[in-house]
Amino acid sequence: MHMARKLGAFEWTLEELHRLPDDGNKYELVRGELFVTPAPSAAHERLAVVLTEILTDYARREKLGRVFHPRAVVRFQGSEVEPDIMVREWTTAPVDWAEQPVPILVVEILSDITRRRDLGSKKDFYHDVGVPTYWIVDGDTRTIRTIQPPHEDVVRTDTLVWHPAGTAEPLTLDIPSVFRAALGA
């Protein structure tokens, strides 16, 4: 149900995006293109839970920031997206989404519906925003693609080491264990 819509010169705006109904779908806007995503699958959410637990422990231990989920947004130059998971510095002042710090890490969990946009429009968007690390988690292939511009993308199947600036210790993920915990054997 990819509902990107561009009709001729028509492009969606943030004002139009914010008028859409709260109907259980996730609405995102990237450079005038609207993306509508229905509720995620159970497998998607299980992966999100396992990764959230790991990232929350690490972020807390390394005083890196907090872990955010959909409904928390990245807003930049008229675009607004809701990553599946993001780690961002914690700010004490209540500020608008556009004024929030750039996420340190964005994680998107692929589905048949989101695959093209997560690997295309949203990947480019996160690069333009200045997100230093982007993971694309693929439950079908049990891989995690790491994107850290200006380096080439790397698809990982065994171990992922993430060592963000300012941390004493890296996070080391045993990728097969992550997928086993979320999806079973």
Chain segment 120-144, per-residue pLDDT in tens: 999 999 999 999 999 999 999 999 9
What band does 7 get if pLDDT is binned at 50, 70 and 90?
A: very low
Average pLDDT over residues 92-107: 87
CB contact set of 83 (below 8 Å; sequence gap of 6+)? 68, 70, 72, 74, 103, 106, 107, 108
- Distance between CA 7 and CA 9 in Å, rounded? 6
Percent of the chain whose pLDDT exceeds 70? 95
Average model confidence (pLDDT) across the chain: 92
Q: Do 81 and 30 form a contact (C-beta atoms < 8 A)?
A: yes
Checking if the pLDDT of 162 tops 60, the result is: yes
Lowest-confidence segment of 7-11, 110-114, 118-122, 133-137 by average pLDDT: 7-11
Checking if the pLDDT of 99 tops 70, the result is: yes
pTM for the model stands at 0.91
DSSP designation for 98: G
Per-residue pLDDT at 8: 47
Average pLDDT over residues 73-83: 93
Per-residue pLDDT at 9: 54
Question: Which tens digits make up the pLDDT trace of 28-57?
Answer: 999 999 999 999 999 999 999 999 999 999
Cα–Cα distances in angstroms (integers) from residue 184 to residues 47, 53, 54, 144, in the given order: 11, 17, 17, 17
In the numeric block, the tokens 């996070």 are attached to: 171
